[in-house]
Amino acid sequence: MDIDIREVKTRRDLKKFIYLPERIHANHANWVHPIYLDEWKYFNPKKNKAFSYSDTVILLAYRGEEVVGRIMGIINRRYNELRKEKVARFGYLETWEDEEVVRALLGYVEAWARKKGMTKIVGPYGFSDQDPEGFLIKGYENRATIATYYSFEWIPGMVEKQGYSKDVDYFVYKLDVPEEIPEFYQKILERVERKGVFKVIEFRNKRELKPWIKPVLSLMNECYSDSNIYGYTPLDEEEMDDLANRYMPVLDPRFVKVATKDGEIIGFIVAIPDMTEGIQKARGRLFPFGFLKILRAAKKTKQLDLLLGAVKEMYRGRGLDVFMGVKMILSASEAGMKIMDTHHEMEENVKVRAEMEKMGGKLYKLYRVYKKDV
């Protein structure tokens, strides 16, 4: 049968779109369900402000009356205006191993992008770099984290057959949490502390942490924009509130470090205990008892997942990253953590990658974002 591509128009269609990956990945031990409560908000234009400055198309592929795939097309107008580009994105591509379905889904989004005046398409990518990005290229034996995709081994090759080539690679390192801080970093820490210019604020509970969340996100906005982070679009106040509300329930105050100078926030690192085993057991459902499984997994885990980090440009290269990093390692060690997942590091960010390797980090996942002229 021919593949029929249909736009998602109704709540019933959207339900099929949201829950399709659960069927496709049913036998994949390392795939992690999304939190479905978040998915319903994310794909709702009334609750996700990114829809207000983006053109979108959400699609299902049918063979007869059976749903066999999905994809989303995104044109982030705010990003394109800032970068003076005409770029569309594809994301959330899911199907069984079927090249005909992949070709039909990508082809539809490409044609849609051309009609909108775009000249290039990249993906997989969401509205911003805060969304999962890239197909997994290496590290299929490792479970996905809460902020990343877990894709099939066959899909990168199948996408390349449709004329796509590498745009950017993201490296993920696994670090052993050391029982003792390496001497090199200990010396940097002592030097920074001795000067007394910088201070690292640590938190005991969410009440202490809450007032710092918006300042952290504001600094992220500033640093990521200044650094020209791939795919990043500055957040407005409402979006920062939404992001804060999204992450506040899963944040552990022990693993948020904020650096200040004269009371001004100048850097931060945010990590969370790996809770993916609990999400799998809960099958992405928080209720009635799923949230308890997730909380238990977070308490039991020996893995810490880094999420975000930044240092204000004028203070980079002055040991501030080491200052916060050592404080994070000490907290991780005290909590009984054994390993740290570094999250995405861009291939071209050789300085940070070299730092990871100096600390004994081992490359254990590689993600790739693809591009194609349309």
Is residue 332 predicted with pLDDT exceeding 90?
yes
Whether residues 243 and 201 share a domain: the answer is yes
356 located within any domain: no
Distance CA 289, CA 327 (A): 34
21 and 147, same domain (yes or no): yes
Average pLDDT over residues 212-225: 90
Measured in degrees and rounded to the nearest 5, phi and psi for residue 39 equal -60, -45
Q: What's the CA gap between 308 and 331, in Å, rounded?
A: 17
Last residue of a domain, one of 148, 169, 190: 169
The answer as to whether 351 is a domain residue is no
Are 141 and 216 part of one and the same domain? Answer: no
pTM for the model? 0.93
Cis check: omega of the bond before 34, within 30 degrees of 0: no
352 located within any domain: no
Q: Is the dihedral of CA 325, 331, 336, 342 positive or negative?
A: negative
CB 59 within 8 A of CB 72: yes
Q: Are residues 63 and 160 in the same domain?
A: yes
The pLDDT tens digits of the residues spanning 115-143 come to 999 999 999 999 988 888 999 999 999 99
**Rounded average pLDDT over 344-366:** 86
User: DSSP assignment, residue 148?
Assistant: S
Residues 139 and 99 in one domain: yes
- What is the average pLDDT across 291-301? 95
Phi/psi at 35 (5° precision): -80, 110
pLDDT digit string, tens, across residues 158-191: 999 999 999 999 999 999 998 888 888 888 888 8
- Domain boundary among the residues 147, 169, 191 is at 169
Residues 148 and 206 in one domain: no
Phi-psi region of 268 (alpha: psi -120 to 50; beta: other; left: phi over 0): beta
Please report whether residue 84 resides in a domain: yes
Q: Is residue 346 assigned to a domain?
A: no
In a domain, 350, yes or no: no
Report the pLDDT value the prediction gives residue 46, as an integer from 0 to 100.
94
pLDDT at site 188: 84
Whether residue 117 is found in the same domain as residue 31? yes
Tell me if 16 is assigned to some domain.
yes
Q: Given a cut of 90, is residue 199 above it in pLDDT?
A: yes
Structural domain boundaries enclosing 120: 3-169
Boundary (domain end) residue, out of 106, 140, 169: 169
Contact 131, 125 (CB under 8 A): yes
Q: Is residue 370 part of a domain?
A: no
Q: Which position has the token pair 């499984």?
A: 293
Domain count, the chain: 2
Query: DSSP for 85-143?
Result: --EEEEEEEEESS-HHHHHHHHHHHHHHHHHTT--EEEES--SSTTS--SEEEE-TTS-
Q: Tell me phi and psi for residue 214, to 5 degrees.
A: -65, -45
Is there a single domain that holds both residue 160 and residue 183?
A: no
Give the tens place of pLDDT for each residue, 21-51.
999 999 899 999 999 999 999 999 999 999 9
Question: Using 50, 70 and 90 to split pLDDT, how confident is the model at 359?
Answer: confident
What's the first-to-final CA gap in the chain, in angstroms?
27
Confidence of residue 225 (pLDDT cuts 50, 70, 90): confident
Residues 23 and 107 grouped into a single domain: yes
pLDDT confidence of residue 19: 98
Q: Check which CATH number belongs to the domain holding 18 and give it.
A: 3.40.630.30
Condensed to tens digits (0 to 9), the pLDDT of residues 45-94 reads 999 999 999 999 999 999 999 999 999 999 999 999 999 999 999 999 99
207 and 116 within one domain: no
Is pLDDT above 90 for 373? Answer: yes
Q: Round to whole Å and give the CA distance between 133 and 236.
A: 21
Per-residue confidence at 240, pLDDT binned at 50, 70, 90?
confident
26 lies in the same domain as 137? yes
Angle between helical axes of 320-334 and 183-195 (0-180°, round to 10): 120
Instruction: Decide if 176 contacts 364 (C-beta within 8 A).
Output: no
Q: How open is the CA angle 141-142-145, to the nearest 5 degrees?
A: 150
Residue tagged 């992450």 (tokens)? 247
135 plus 206 within the same structural domain = no
